[in-house]
Structure 1
Amino acid sequence: MAEIAASAGRAEPLLARYRGLICDLDGVVYRGATAVPHAVETLNQVTERGVPVVFATNNASRAPADVAGHLRELGIAGAGWSVVNSSQAAAAYLARRLAPRARVCAVGGPGVVHALAEAGLTPVRVADLEGAPVEAVVQGLGYDITWRELAAVGYLVEAGAAWVATNVDRTLPTPYGKAPGNGALVALVQTTTSASPHVVGKPKPALFDLARARLGTAPPDTLVCGDLLGTDIEGANSAGLDSLFVLSGSSRLRDLAFAERGARPTYVAADLSGLLAPALRLDYASGLVELGPDDVPRLPSVGDNGGSLQSVVTTAWAARDGGRTISDDAPLWERIEKRLGVAGPERPTP
């Protein structure tokens, strides 16, 4: 264990290894209207050091300018950062395949309409269809989507329109817990048609490719930061990018311990401040500890929390990959989180 602590002391900050950062929003930078602890000050230091940031979100309900306004209200300062969402990825996908100003039905929040217009297409709301044909339909999250709009998606798809879903996240994080996401609404439409949508959001690589193009960085120089294994981390892996998984959102340490290979991050930290901490890769060659009698990794007796967290995760992965049973008892993992100082956020009662 002394070797682990010493190597952590000599390791360079994680941020120093990369020239651009793709950062998720919900659960990473903010939870609703409230900033995640340490997120704002860390991101301001990132851009001050000359590392550009693209905030990339599956949530397509708001236009990027509105999201940027929220970030400024939280205290994200200066230049060197921008916002992209899955509506923009959907619009870019269709703009490469349709003629300029092609009519596309927009179902979802204002972000869907904005992205289509920005890409040179003509967004048409369901209420304005009036029998005029459209060549495609983009379905994204909207907080006021109606039965009529969902039914219209099915009608248009059955009539031959191309169907693009901004994302298929079944749930959406809120300050009160999980709520139905765009994937739940897409699933409703799928009960009426045999078609399946083309999906552009995480974990598909399209949104990451769009964000990286804006950064102007090569894959080895780009880091993804997110709080969801099945979207942020799996998507980063599919796009060939390194990733930092943070425990400030809805996924927990237990989820990480049981992650399959395709959803395993390169690094882990309690929150975004891990970008400025020593870079400790989650590989199998270092940081292993013993499993206790309760079939969970023992915490190291020395070393900082970053090294201890790395040791717990790598031990769990190595044990599972070697065929050994690891306890999935949630209270046990919650106690480990508390001892490591990475316990999840408290949620208010709705």
Structure 2
Amino acid sequence: MDRSQPILTKYRGVICDLDGVVYRGAHAVPGAVASLNAMIAGQVPVVFATNNASRSPAAAREHLRELGLGDEGWSVVTSSQAAAAYLAEQLRPGAPVFAVGGPGVPEALTEAGLTPLRVTELADGRTVEAVVQGAGQDVTWRDLAEVAYLVQAGVIWVATNLDATVPTSRGLAPGNGAFVGAVQTTTPAAPHVTGKPGTALFDLARSRLGSDRSETIMVGDRLDTDIAGAGAAGVDSMFVLGGASTLRDLAFAEDAARPTYFGFDLSGLLQPGLYQRHGPDDAVELSPDGVLSVRRPVARHRLLQAIVSAAWHARDHDLPLVTDTTLWAELERRLGV
């Protein structure tokens, strides 16, 4: 591929995360919607694949339209849908399933031909054959306790995702991984996880796109789910800053969680890609004791590429690299993140 061409010229379909990439809470990430509309106008379809199980695909679609996304050329798939599809293969049609999380969980189970039950419906002694645990603003201690009791009794346990946090307009909030962790304090069992970084959600998204692995790119803000999952699913990836994972996280990422490209936001897909350069760049300097510093002012895209390339070179060659969060926060400030 000619690296002077925009990233998107290599691909026929885009899988895109939502929280932290397109929006944070109710508000769009600056430039995200304009970039998406440009991609779709260029006949490159987009499937939004989200670990967030609290919303139904219909609610997510409505939110995206409110933010200004056009009506055509895109769709939404969720980890709740992947969980429901998994259970539909394991259980008889109409089987009762305890649904924990936002409206997206019971809606996905119903669409898959299963019978979702909420915690209040279990009070009369009704039994279930499985439990799907997702996050939601109304998840209570009673929900988590019931999951624990059911898992201890041997019921099939499916988690929509293990994201420890979720980005909001006010900062990071506890994600489903935190709630799953609470249940795991009561049992040695582990859930079957259908969201990223597992491959099920990526495969579901690619089936919507109709693209081969080599023709698909994933865009996300979490190295441990979006980027590692893309690698496991055999598709390229672009990491964007400003969401759940930080510049420091990117600098110290292990090979499996390193993206093909990295950038500031979705507009990076419409530009030549930023990737690890193996030659020296005098824009930055790595001291013998591992302090990475900026030597001279350069364009922010070049500076980001220089910082990440220098950090990965240090990691790959067992050179010192300072972990101090203050230093990395200052570099993010220099980059305008």
2:128 to 128, 134, 137: 134
- Matched with 2:265 is 271
2:180 equivalent to 1:186? yes
Separation in structure 1 between the aligned mates of residue 296 and residue 272 of structure 2, nearest angstrom? 19
- Matched with 1:31 is 24
2:78 equivalent to 1:85? yes
CA contact (8 A) 2:165 2:176 kept: yes
Separation in structure 2 between the aligned mates of residue 36 and residue 224 of structure 1, nearest angstrom? 17
Separation in structure 1 between the aligned mates of residue 300 and residue 12 of structure 2, nearest angstrom? 26
- Matched with 2:216 is 222
Separation in structure 1 between the aligned mates of residue 317 and residue 88 of structure 2, nearest angstrom? 47
- Matched with 1:21 is 14
Separation in structure 2 between the aligned mates of residue 155 and residue 191 of structure 1, nearest angstrom? 12
Shift of 1:103: 1.4
- Relative to the length of structure 1, the TM-score reads 0.89
* Alignment-mate amino acid for residue 213 of structure 2: P
CA contact (8 A) 2:262 2:273 kept: no
Separation in structure 1 between the aligned mates of residue 286 and residue 100 of structure 2, nearest angstrom? 52
SS at match of 1:83: strand
Structure 1 window deviating more from structure 2 (207-216 vs 288-297): it is 288-297
- The one-character-per-residue Cα deviations of 1:59-101 (angstroms, maximum 9, x if unpaired) are 1001110011011101011301111111111001111121222
- Relative to the length of structure 2, the TM-score reads 0.93
Q: CA RMSD in A?
A: 2.1
Separation in structure 2 between the aligned mates of residue 211 and residue 277 of structure 1, nearest angstrom? 24
1:208 to 197, 202, 214: 202
2:82 equivalent to 1:69? no
Are residues 303 and 146 of structure 1, via their aligned partners in 2, closer, same or farther at CA, if it must alter by over 3 Å? closer
Are residues 246 and 119 of structure 1, via their aligned partners in 2, closer, same or farther at CA, if it must alter by over 3 Å? same
SS at match of 2:49: strand
Separation in structure 1 between the aligned mates of residue 142 and residue 334 of structure 2, nearest angstrom? 50
Are residues 223 and 53 of structure 1, via their aligned partners in 2, closer, same or farther at CA, if it must alter by over 3 Å? same
Shift of 1:41: 0.3
SS at match of 1:291: strand
- Matched with 1:329 is 324
Shift of 1:228: 1.1
Shift of 1:136: 0.8
Question: How many residue pairs were aligned?
Answer: 334
Are residues 150 and 298 of structure 1, via their aligned partners in 2, closer, same or farther at CA, if it must alter by over 3 Å? closer
* Alignment-mate amino acid for residue 196 of structure 2: K
- Matched with 1:94 is 87
Shift of 1:300: 7.4
* Alignment-mate amino acid for residue 333 of structure 2: K
- Matched with 2:304 is 309
Separation in structure 2 between the aligned mates of residue 340 and residue 189 of structure 1, nearest angstrom? 40
1:41 to 34, 44, 63: 34
* Alignment-mate amino acid for residue 154 of structure 1: A
- Matched with 2:5 is 12
Separation in structure 2 between the aligned mates of residue 287 and residue 54 of structure 1, nearest angstrom? 37
CA contact (8 A) 1:223 1:241 kept: yes
Are residues 170 and 59 of structure 1, via their aligned partners in 2, closer, same or farther at CA, if it must alter by over 3 Å? same
Shift of 1:333: 2.6
- The one-character-per-residue Cα deviations of 1:110-164 (angstroms, maximum 9, x if unpaired) are 1100000111111111211332322111011121112222121122222221100
Shift of 1:334: 3.1
CA contact (8 A) 1:11 1:280 kept: no
Are residues 180 and 14 of structure 1, via their aligned partners in 2, closer, same or farther at CA, if it must alter by over 3 Å? same
- Matched with 2:275 is 281
Structure 1 window deviating more from structure 2 (247-256 vs 303-312): it is 303-312
Structure 1: tracts of 5 or more residues without a match = 1-6, 344-350
Separation in structure 2 between the aligned mates of residue 78 and residue 70 of structure 1, nearest angstrom? 12
